[in-house]
Structure 1
């Protein structure tokens, strides 16, 4: 599994990735429900209680959707894969399939630092696996149809590393600042927009 020898085209791996991400996103919504036969007051209270679940669901859909898109972008010009690419991709898929669990922790115990730390650690691990795949492919132009420029490759790796660092730093800091540090994740929006524009400009 850790061989650097080419092991064929990436289509089957991409199909597996699509399936795992689709299932992971579907699992996020399974716990969203409201009891039947509630009176109006209880119904409104149930909807209010559902807000943290909806917030955690939306956050994880954005996270998984973003990493699914990044994975497709990484493999856009790949013509062959090897054992290392497969192993790192499988590691990432394992983490992606796990995301519904920390999402549930965040929804039900979002006021607990441990829940935020577990969620941030899972997202950082998912990002690190994607970053590792991108780094391996960048070092092996023989696996690609077209080799990206040095600047574009650096910008893409910097984009991925930024997300990993932000979520990874959250893990220890949440025990100092409390769960409100989650708002710091919003810093990724302007950072990724800026890096994305620069990357797009480089083709």
Structure 2
């Protein structure tokens, strides 16, 4: 069995008739996977982002046993979901911003390194944690630990994003401004500010994430210089 480039080759076993009987199974051999197809990483990333963003809205619901007897009762109960809806709004646009940054970061190479693939999986793990931390804030935002849990989730995502920016940057290619570090630093800083604000005023802590809207006004990161290959000395 021949393995294609970028994929692991697994040679399992073969059955060969010998005197009317089958030989014992040969031990399996494995070729270490040194690279991963970039398209598979992209597909997994898009799927997880879509699933996580869908789960966010499922946390906004009214209990089944609410005593609703009139339109006024329904409106009153819907108003109690205000904090949960604000948390959903913030989390949705946070995930959208992270997805957009990843989409602009991805280069056109066919493969990514095994190390980069493992970091991507770790990054996606914390993406799937956003609906949980968002739910905790939506239900228990009046307690500081809920704000801290959400902020910790965001800080980890910001740090991993910065690491991926470094690992995904192809040598000799220009870096798009959207993939620069300044927006990620602002994102990580807004999470830290939210945690600090929660020590003083819990009600306004989550609004710190709206600071990420300032990323549109940040100066573009200097682009990498492209060094063309040296001309051959041969005629």
* TM-score, normalisation: structure 1: 0.80
Whether 1:184 aligns to 2:208 is yes
- Residues 169 and 40 from structure 1, CA distance in 2 versus in 1: closer, same or farther, beyond 3 angstroms? closer
CA distance in structure 2 between the aligned counterparts of 1:125 and 1:193, rounded to whole angstroms: 22
1:160 shift after superposition: 1.4
1:89 correspondence with 2:120: yes
Match of 1:12 among 34, 40, 44: 40
User: What is the count of residue pairs matched by the alignment?
Assistant: 188
Is the contact between residue 56 and residue 103 of structure 1 (CA under 8 Å) also seen in structure 2?
A: yes
Tell me which residue corresponds to 1:39.
70
Separation in structure 2 between the aligned mates of residue 98 and residue 134 of structure 1, nearest angstrom: 21
Q: Who wins on radius of gyration, i.e. which is larger?
A: 2
1:33 Cα deviation (Å)?
2.5
Q: Which residue matches 2:8?
A: none
Aligned with residue 29 of structure 1, among 35, 46, 57: 57
- The structure carrying a bigger strand percent of its residues is 2
Structure number with higher helix proportion: 1
8 Å contact from structure 1 (residues 135, 157) kept in 2: no
Q: Alpha carbon RMSD of aligned pairs, Å?
A: 2.7
Distance 1:159 1:184, change over 3 A: same
| Bigger mean CA offset, 50-59 vs 153-162 | 153-162
Give the structure 2 partner of residue 49 of structure 1. 80
Tell me the equivalent position of 1:128.
159
Note closer, same or farther for the CA distance 1:168–1:84 as it changes in structure 2 (3 Å cut).
Answer: farther
- The answer to whether the Cα contact below 8 Å between 1:89 and 1:130 also exists between their aligned partners in 2 is no
Cα drift, residue 184 of structure 1: 2.9
> Following TM superposition, by how much is the alpha carbon of 1:85 offset from its aligned partner in structure 2, in angstroms?
1.0
Specify every segment of 5 or more residues in structure 1 that has no aligned partner in the other structure, as ranges. Answer: none
* Cα distance per residue 1:106-159 (max 9 Å; x no partner): 111112111111111111111211111111123x52xxxx6115xx57970222
The alignment's TM-score, normalised by the length of structure 2, stands at: 0.70
Where structure 2 has 5 or more consecutive residues not aligned to the other structure, the ranges are 1-32, 225-235
